[in-house]
């Protein structure tokens, strides 16, 4: 059984992510965990350093959170035909989003997170909101970020940029392959070179990748002399990609691309769901 964590702030952006997750995993036995976290806007030092239970956990905030979760669960029931292999659990938690997610990740080692990616300011130049960025940085689980205006599409064409620095023998590809199998999707692996030939290690990893995907629709593409973001954009112009997938190995181009201090000034706009898989999965 899969465990899918759906953080929600009850916005339409988070609702969009919830509906995406339900449809993406419609044929998988899943427990969907609807999580809302809250903290008082202002609370005194005595509250912060003491035992919160002594002062209550902000009864009004907690009641509001629980009520909204109940309404959200009802909205799901009214929007989707009952699927006997799906179950839904709700949790209202006095905590930061990162703290609550880490607790789930410890309880469910193969947890998958699906969340909205709307920028906090709503500005067009913001690729991801601050919450999404923090989750990418802090949480070592597969994370799917869903653009706010993305209407669900089956992921028939998946784009998988790779620097060929991983050997793909530690089960990092399991989720990607599972999604491809579920939706009869094609995996488009993409390598962006600097003009040099592949190293011996990269050639070996390319062969492993090809073998891992031999039972799937799989195509390898190579781009030269351009930035990864530009290559992704160009590929999307030529092919209708429904899902972008990257593995975040340490010091990879993913880290260089997304985790710089200029995170909100990235020069390309992502209009499709984005799955980030940690290399230790």
**190 shares a domain with 169:** yes
**Is 277 a domain residue?**
no
**79 shares a domain with 210:** no
Q: What is the pLDDT of residue 194?
A: 77
Q: What is the pLDDT of residue 43?
A: 52
Residue 242: phi and psi, rounded to 5, are: -105, -15
Domain count for the chain = 2
Regions of the chain where pLDDT drops below 70: 40-58, 118-130, 250-269, 280-281
**113 shares a domain with 32:** yes
Average model confidence (pLDDT) for the chain?
A: 83
Query: Cβ(17)–Cβ(24) under 8 Å?
Result: no
**142 shares a domain with 180:** no
Boundary-marking domain end, from 121, 146, 171: 146
Boundary-marking domain end, from 146, 165, 193: 146
**Is 279 a domain residue?**
no
Q: What is the pLDDT of residue 136?
A: 80
**165 shares a domain with 141:** no
**173 shares a domain with 115:** no
**Is 276 a domain residue?**
no
**264 shares a domain with 142:** no
**164 shares a domain with 136:** no
Give the pTM.
0.86
**Is 84 a domain residue?**
yes
**98 shares a domain with 174:** no
Integer angstrom CA distances of residue 247 from 80, 177, 206:
32, 13, 15
In angstroms, rounded to a whole number, what is the distance separating the alpha carbons of residues 171 and 139?
A: 18
Q: Residue 65 belongs to a domain with what CATH number?
A: 3.40.50.620
Nearest to 272 by CA among 246, 243, 245, 232: 243
**217 shares a domain with 122:** no
**79 shares a domain with 122:** yes
Q: What is the pLDDT of residue 255?
A: 57
**What residues make up the domain containing 51?**
2-146
Supply angle C-alpha 101, 244, 177, rounded to 5.
80
């Amino acid at each position: 059984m899969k465990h899918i964590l759906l953080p929600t702030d009850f916005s339409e952006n988070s609702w969009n992510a919830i509906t995406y997750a339900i449809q993406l995993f419609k044929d998988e036995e899943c427990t969907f965990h609807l999580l809302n976290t809250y903290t008082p806007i202002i609370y005194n030092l005595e509250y912060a350093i003491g035992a919160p239970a002594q002062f209550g956990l902000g009864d009004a905030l907690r009641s509001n959170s629980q009520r909204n979760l109940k309404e959200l669960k009802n909205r799901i029931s009214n929007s989707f035909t009952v699927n006997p292999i799906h179950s839904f659990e709700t949790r209202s938690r006095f905590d930061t989003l990162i703290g609550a997610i880490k607790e789930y990740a410890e309880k469910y080692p193969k947890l998958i997170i699906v969340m909205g990616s709307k920028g906090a300011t709503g500005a067009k130049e913001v690729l991801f909101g601050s919450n999404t960025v923090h989750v990418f940085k802090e949480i070592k689980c597969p994370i799917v970020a869903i653009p706010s205006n993305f209407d669900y599409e089956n992921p028939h064409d998946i784009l998988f940029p790779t620097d060929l620095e991983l050997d793909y023998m530690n089960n990092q590809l399991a989720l990607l392959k599972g999604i491809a199998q579920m939706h009869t999707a094609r995996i488009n692996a993409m390598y962006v070179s600097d003009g040099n030939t592949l190293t011996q290690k990269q050639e070996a990893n390319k062969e492993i990748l090809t073998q891992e995907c031999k039972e799937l629709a799989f195509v390898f593409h190579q781009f030269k002399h351009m930035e990864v973001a530009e290559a992704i954009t160009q590929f999307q112009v030529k092919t209708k990609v429904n899902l972008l997938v990257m593995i975040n190995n340490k010091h990879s181009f993913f880290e260089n691309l997304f985790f710089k201090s200029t995170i909100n000034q990235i020069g390309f706009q992502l209009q499709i769901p984005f799955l980030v898989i940690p290399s230790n999965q």
